[in-house]
C-alpha cells in the first residue's frame, strides 16, 4: 500500500513539473496583452507620432523597439497608468516608412510583439533635373535621364501623350539614395510629349506634376531643330540667342554664318543643308580658331560678327554692325593705335547726343566702339565705317587689356 502511495506521489510530482512551463508561455492567459494599437501610423515627416493603448495587467511595462538594418533596437520603455493606459510616443517621423514593434512584459512574462509601421509623408514630393526644352534625337537612340527626387520609396509614373490623352508607360520608385532613373527606351521618328507624375500615396500628400518634355526622333534633322543646334554651338561664345529656325531672320542668319566659319567652311548666311545640320548635331561647341584668323580681334563683314582670338583659341564670338554700303569698313590688318575710355560724339557724324562708347581706333577714324544703345548693333551693316559692338564686349576688350597694340583684322563682304 505504501509503495502505491509513493508511486502516486511520484506521478503527481511529474505532472506538476510538466504543466508548470505552460503557464509562462508567451500568449497564454496570464501573458500581458495590448489593445488599441494603431498601425500604420501616418504622419507628416518631422512630426512626432503618438498612440494611446490599453495594457493588461496594469502592472505591465511596454517596450518600444525600432528595426535598424534588420536588428531590433530598444527605443523607450513605458508604464501604464492605474487604468492601464499607455501613451506611446515614437521618435520624430522621418520621410519614408520606419518599422517598430511593441512588446508588453509583466512578472517576467512577455506578450506577443506587436508590429507597427510609421509612415512619414511629405506634403509635396520634390524632383530636380527634369528637362523642359525640346530635344532632338537620332532615330533608334536610347534616352535615359537620372534625376534626384524625394521621398525615397515614392511611386513615380512616366506618362506620354497620344491621341490627346495621357497614358502611363512606366512606373518607378525613388531609390533609397534619392535618385530616379528614367528610361524612355529607343526613340522612334516623330515628337512624343512626356511628363512625370508623383501621385497621392502614403508617402506623398499632394500630387506632383512636371512640365511637358518633348522628345523628337529624326532620321534627317528637321529645320525646326536649327535654333537648338546653334544655341548649343555658338551662344556660349557670345552670339545672341536664336529663336527662329528661318534663316531669313537676322540673328539666325548670323549664327548660321558663324557656325559655318568656325566649322572651317566658307562663311555664308544661307540655310544649312540637312547633311550639315546632322554634322552639327554631333559637333562639340567651337573653340579652335580657323586658319587665317589672327591673335586679336577678327571682324567678319559677311557674318557681322567679331572673334576674339588668343593663341589659336576662340575666346569670344560676338555680334557687330559694320559700315553700310556708302561708308564701308576698310578691309585689312591693323593695330589699335588710340583708345578713348569714356563716351564721345563723332566729329564727322555728330548726333544730338554722344554716340561712341570706349572707342578703340584701328584705321583712321574707324574704331571698335559701343553706341548710345546696344540696339544700334544690328544684324546688317549700318555704321559710318566703324565696328559697333555691344557694351559688354567693348568692356571685355578694355578689362582684358586688348587696347592699344591689339591686332584687328577686317575681312569678308556683305552681299
Domains and CATH numbers, the chain: 30-122 (2.60.40.10), 125-218 (2.60.40.10), 223-411 (2.40.440.10)
Q: What is the mean pLDDT of residues 294-302?
A: 98
pLDDT band at 353 (very low <50, low <70, confident <90, very high): low
For residue 291, pLDDT beyond 70:
yes
Q: Where are the alpha helices (DSSP H) in 96-183?
A: none
For 367-387, how does the pLDDT look when each residue is reduced to its tens digit (9 = 90+)?
A: 999 998 999 999 999 999 999
* pLDDT at residue 4, rounded to an integer: 36
Q: Are the C-beta atoms of 133 and 109 separated by less than 8 Å?
A: no
Give the confidence band of 25 by pLDDT, cuts at 50, 70, 90.
very low
The strands making up 33-35's β-sheet, listed across from edge to edge, are: 33-35, 50-56, 85-89
- What integer pLDDT is reported at residue 352 of this predicted model? 54
Q: DSSP states of 33-80 as a string?
A: EEE---SSEEEETT---EEEEEEESTT-EEEEEEEETTEEEEEEEE--
d(CA 254, CA 317): 11
pLDDT digit string (tens) for 144-183?
Answer: 999 999 998 999 999 999 888 999 999 999 998 999 999 9
Q: What is the average pLDDT value for the chain, to the nearest integer?
A: 88
Cα end-to-end span (Å), the chain: 138
Q: Residue 84: is its pLDDT beyond 60?
A: yes
CB 185 within 8 A of CB 215: no
Amino acid at each position: 500500500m505504501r509503495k502505491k502511495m509513493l508511486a502516486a506521489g511520484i506521478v503527481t510530482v511529474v505532472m506538476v513539473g510538466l504543466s508548470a512551463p505552460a503557464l509562462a508561455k508567451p500568449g497564454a492567459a496570464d501573458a500581458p496583452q495590448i489593445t488599441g494599437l494603431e498601425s500604420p501610423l501616418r504622419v507628416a515627416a518631422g512630426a512626432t507620432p503618438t498612440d494611446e493603448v490599453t495594457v493588461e495587467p496594469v502592472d505591465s511595462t511596454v517596450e518600444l523597439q525600432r528595426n535598424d538594418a534588420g536588428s531590433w533596437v530598444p527605443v523607450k520603455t513605458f508604464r501604464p497608468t492605474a487604468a492601464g493606459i499607455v501613451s506611446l510616443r515614437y521618435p520624430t517621423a522621418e520621410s519614408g516608412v520606419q518599422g517598430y514593434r511593441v512588446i508588453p512584459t509583466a512578472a517576467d512574462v512577455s506578450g506577443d510583439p506587436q508590429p507597427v509601421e510609421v509612415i512619414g509623408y511629405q506634403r509635396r514630393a520634390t524632383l530636380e533635373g527634369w528637362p523642359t526644352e525640346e530635344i532632338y534625337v537620332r532615330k533608334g537612340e536610347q534616352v535615359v535621364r537620372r534625376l534626384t527626387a524625394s521621398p525615397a520609396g515614392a511611386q513615380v509614373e512616366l506618362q506620354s501623350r497620344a491621341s490627346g490623352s495621357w497614358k502611363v508607360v512606366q512606373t518607378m520608385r525613388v531609390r533609397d539614395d534619392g535618385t530616379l532613373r528614367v528610361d524612355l527606351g529607343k526613340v522612334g521618328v516623330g515628337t512624343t510629349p512626356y511628363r512625370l507624375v508623383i501621385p497621392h500615396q502614403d508617402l506623398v500628400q499632394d500630387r506632383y506634376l512636371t512640365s511637358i518634355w518633348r522628345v523628337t526622333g529624326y532620321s534627317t534633322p528637321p529645320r525646326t531643330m536649327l535654333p537648338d543646334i546653334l544655341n548649343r554651338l555658338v551662344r556660349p561664345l557670345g552670339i545672341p540667342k536664336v529663336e527662329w529656325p528661318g534663316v531669313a531672320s537676322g540673328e539666325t542668319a548670323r549664327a548660321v554664318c558663324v557656325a559655318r566659319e568656325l566649322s572651317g567652311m566658307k562663311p555664308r548666311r544661307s540655310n544649312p543643308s540637312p547633311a550639315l545640320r546632322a554634322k552639327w548635331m554631333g559637333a562639340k561647341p567651337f573653340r579652335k580658331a580657323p586658319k587665317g584668323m589672327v591673335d586679336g580681334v577678327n571682324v567678319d563683314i559677311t557674318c557681322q560678327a567679331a572673334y576674339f582670338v588668343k593663341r589659336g583659341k576662340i575666346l569670344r564670338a560676338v555680334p557687330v554692325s559694320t559700315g553700310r554700303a556708302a561708308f564701308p569698313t576698310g578691309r585689312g590688318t591693323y593695330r589699335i593705335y588710340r583708345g578713348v575710355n569714356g563716351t564721345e560724339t563723332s566729329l564727322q557724324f555728330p548726333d544730338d547726343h554722344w554716340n561712341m562708347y570706349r572707342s578703340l581706333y584701328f584705321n583712321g577714324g574707324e574704331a571698335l566702339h559701343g553706341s548710345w544703345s546696344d540696339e544700334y548693333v544690328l544684324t546688317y551693316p549700318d555704321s559710318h565705317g566703324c565696328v559697333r559692338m555691344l557694351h559688354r564686349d567693348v568692356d571685355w576688350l578694355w578689362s582684358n587689356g586688348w587696347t592699344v597694340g591689339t591686332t584687328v583684322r577686317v575681312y569678308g563682304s556683305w552681299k
